[in-house]
Amino acid sequence: MATEADRKALEGLKEEYEYGWKTEEAEYVYVARKGLDHDVIDHISDLKGEPDWMREFRHKALDIFLSKPMPNWGPDLSEIDFDDIYYYIKPTEEESFGDWDDVPSYIRETFDRLGVPEAERKFLAGLGAQFESEMVYHSLREEWEKLGVIFLSIEDGLKEHPDLFREYFATVVPPTDNKFAALNSAVWSGGSFIYVPPGVKLDIPL
């Protein structure tokens, strides 16, 4: 049952965040319909060209999500309308760009405002940038690539290193852990695939 503090917090989320901003001119390639069912899962899997085992994993995770109750710890989340959410938005035709200049200008401008390109140049061994449901950019410094470090979008990791991917995917927090872990497993999209060979140590962050 929602407390008065919970209600006030939820009302506050509806107000305009005074320090926030949003990308006004986004041009999406594909937007899934609102709501979540097995048809939406199939659309996501089809668009990503996933192997059968991943499609089956998503469907099983959705079944777990639908069967599990809402968590009874933490704030009251009972007012979430899961049918009023877009679970997949594809911003570009390309799965992930390797050259920052190839990323659509409205996406570059968003990350420029966040200081991401400058951070990449000064502090990072590699960078992945996600916009909506997909990674739009990945880079890795050549010296780390030569040492066998792999840093890809998670979709490319699934395609290029399927056995390694399958061995570790969703093992830290499996879909059976809780309702929201199951939801994440059902509709996951974007993220990074990282492999650091034994004996190799990164002294700057990815």
Domain that holds residue 181: 24-195
User: pLDDT at residue 171 above 90?
Assistant: yes
Whether residue 182 lies inside any domain: the answer is: yes
Whether residue 10 lies inside any domain: the answer is: no
Whether residue 12 lies inside any domain: the answer is: no
User: pLDDT at residue 25 above 70?
Assistant: no
User: pLDDT at residue 8 above 90?
Assistant: no
User: pLDDT at residue 17 above 80?
Assistant: no
User: pLDDT at residue 191 above 70?
Assistant: yes
Whether residue 13 lies inside any domain: the answer is: no
- What would the mean pLDDT of 11-17 be, rounded to a whole number? 62
Q: How many domains does the chain have?
A: 1
Whether residue 203 lies inside any domain: the answer is: no
DSSP for 111-173, written as a single string = HHHHTHHHHHHHH-SEEEEEETTEEEEEEE-HHHHHTT-EEEEHHHHHHHSHHHHHHHTT-SS
Question: pTM of the prediction?
Answer: 0.71
User: pLDDT at residue 9 above 70?
Assistant: no
Whether residue 200 lies inside any domain: the answer is: no
CB atoms within 10 A of CB 130: 19
Q: Does residue 104 or residue 195 have the better pLDDT? A: 195
Whether residue 178 lies inside any domain: the answer is: yes
Whether residue 131 lies inside any domain: the answer is: yes
Q: Does residue 65 or residue 75 have the better pLDDT? A: 65
- What would the mean pLDDT of 152-169 be, rounded to a whole number? 91
User: pLDDT by residue (tens digit) across 124-138?
Assistant: 555 665 555 555 555
Tell me, what's the pLDDT at 190?
A: 81
Tell me, what's the pLDDT at 57?
A: 98
